[in-house]
Amino acid sequence: MSGGIGVHTRPHRGGTDTWLTPPEWIRHLGPFDLDPCAAPDPKPWPTADRHYTAPDDDGMALPWLGFVWLNPPYGPETERWLNKLYHHGDGIALAFARTETRWFVEQVWSRADAVLFVHGRPHFHHADGERAKGNSGGPVCLIAYGDRAANRLAACSIEGTFVPLPRRRTERGSSSLPAVLPPLVTALLLVLSVAYREQVRTLVWLTPLALLLLAVVVGCVWLAGRLTARPPMTEHLRDEAAVLIERSK
């Protein structure tokens, strides 16, 4: 990535150095289909099958396909890139573990499927591939969006503490069940109208059918509510995360 997480020791407006993700992390977590924040050429190692490289490519505007590796620019831009990955729904991001900040609460606690809090402070690499002498200067974490990403974080050998987050279904992952509710309600109303127009004998077998349809509608509404709800972050999970951050310092 260019001008990303490794330049945190410089003002984000002035940092221009390129810092690369440790290659062993890519091996542990990959393979990836796309890196939309790839380092400029020549790259000492690939991070994905396809790279979007600034300034030739606008990774924010171009389409994202497949499993994404995201090491976003550090600073105010981090939130925009995480938001894009959330809506894409299939990838892993690297970011500082600023668990108390607004952007972390909104983009990670409220949207991610899992987080791996990396133990210690990793060393990144210069543009030529040489390992930097200094470490990251702060705790970092790997953020999973989507089931595949969460599974890879859980199974990887990167030293850290894996924290699965409650399943969330918001605007990106909303269920398709609400789309079938209007036809069901319409069918229910049609059955009831026919029942009341016909004789009592017809009402005897139409009434159970109407009740069955009503039960289906209620069940669909309940299930859709369960899928679209995102449980709030619990206090004990916040406390555990804070402990992990302290241990990594």
- Please state, in angstroms and rounded to a whole number, the distance separating the CA atoms of residues 51 and 69: 10
The structure tokens 């409220």 sit at 110
Predicted model pTM: 0.64
CB contact set of 145 (below 8 Å; sequence gap of 6+): 85, 86, 88, 89, 90, 91, 92, 93, 111, 112, 113
- Please state, in angstroms and rounded to a whole number, the distance separating the CA atoms of residues 205 and 88: 48
Alpha carbon 51 to its chain centroid, in Å, reads 20
The structure tokens 């930097």 sit at 132
**Average predicted confidence (pLDDT) for the chain:** 74
- Please state, in angstroms and rounded to a whole number, the distance separating the CA atoms of residues 181 and 217: 7
- Does the pLDDT of residue 182 top 90, yes or no? no
pLDDT, position 43? 76
Q: Give mean pLDDT, residues 99-127.
A: 88
The structure tokens 């990167």 sit at 158
Q: Give mean pLDDT, residues 30-42.
A: 87
Q: Give mean pLDDT, residues 185-197.
A: 65
pLDDT range class, residue 120, cuts 50, 70, 90: confident
Rounded to the nearest 5 percent, the helix, strand and coil shares of the chain are 40, 15, 45
What is 5-168's CATH topology?
Answer: Rossmann fold (3.40.50)
Q: In what order do the strands lie in the sheet with 114-118?
A: 50-53, 34-38, 68-70, 91-96, 140-145, 114-118, 160-164
